[in-house]
């Protein structure tokens, strides 16, 4: 599990248009890197919309928001358009980056166990070091919690 002070692992992932992005392109800015289970599900939608509604406040604090899930680019395209999300959402279908960041593991839903993405966020500084790790976040208050940490 990554912890405060660790260097954030590098990644190269596609956005909904197929453009590849890496963490290094955001050096000089803080990054909210949030992992979520699935596009357009109740909790994930709530979390994304909270980030959307507070987007300008994050921008004013020199902070970029990046969401990552294992959903494909087409799913992300629909999700972004449906909810007018102004921030970057990246696709990790192989869940390689999700695993590197410690957000992949055994999950449980209605008594069924499966492997999937945990709801988790990392706050990364301008030099690529982890400032804080948030696990088991509450989608409806998480954006405000992060803003207080900036």
In degrees, rounded to 5, the angle at the alpha carbon of residue 13 between the alpha carbons of residues 69 and 71 is 25
Q: How do the domains of the chain map onto residue ranges?
A: 12-149
Task: Mark out the alpha helices in the chain (DSSP H runs).
Answer: 42-53, 55-60, 73-83, 96-100, 142-149
Q: 12-149 belongs to which homologous superfamily?
A: Glutaredoxin (3.40.30.10)
Nearest Cα residue to 140 out of 65, 55, 51:
51
pLDDT of 109 > 80? The answer is no
What is the full DSSP assignment across 50-64? HHHHTHHHHHHTTEE
Residue in the block written with tokens 């998480």:
142
Q: What is the pLDDT of residue 60?
A: 98
Mean pLDDT for all residues in the chain = 96
Work out the pLDDT band at 1, boundaries 50, 70, 90: confident
User: Per residue in 70-87, pLDDT tens?
Assistant: 999 999 999 999 999 999
SS3 at position 106? strand
- Average pLDDT score over residue span 91-99: 97
Q: How far apart are CA 68 and CA 109, in angstroms?
A: 21
Residues with a catalytic annotation lie at 44
Task: Specify which residues 22 forms β-bridges with.
Answer: 12
Q: How far apart are CA 119 and CA 98, in angstroms?
A: 11
User: Per residue in 48-64, pLDDT tens?
Assistant: 999 999 999 999 999 99
Q: What is the pLDDT of residue 48?
A: 98
């Amino acid at each position: 599990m990554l912890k405060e002070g660790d260097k954030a692992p590098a990644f190269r992932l596609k956005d909904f248009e197929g453009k590849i992005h890496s963490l290094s392109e955001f050096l000089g800015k803080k990054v909210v890197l949030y992992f979520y289970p699935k596009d357009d599900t109740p909790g994930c939608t709530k979390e994304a919309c909270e980030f959307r509604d507070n987007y300008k406040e994050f921008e004013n604090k020199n902070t970029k928001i990046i969401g990552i899930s294992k959903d494909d680019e087409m799913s992300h395209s629909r999700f972004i358009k449906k909810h007018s999300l102004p921030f970057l959402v990246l696709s990790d279908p192989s869940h390689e980056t999700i695993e590197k960041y410690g957000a992949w593991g055994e999950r449980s839903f209605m008594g069924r166990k499966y492997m999937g993405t945990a709801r988790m966020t990392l706050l990364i500084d301008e030099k690529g070091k982890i400032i804080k790790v948030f696990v088991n976040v509450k989608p409806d208050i998480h954006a405000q919690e992060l803003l207080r940490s900036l």
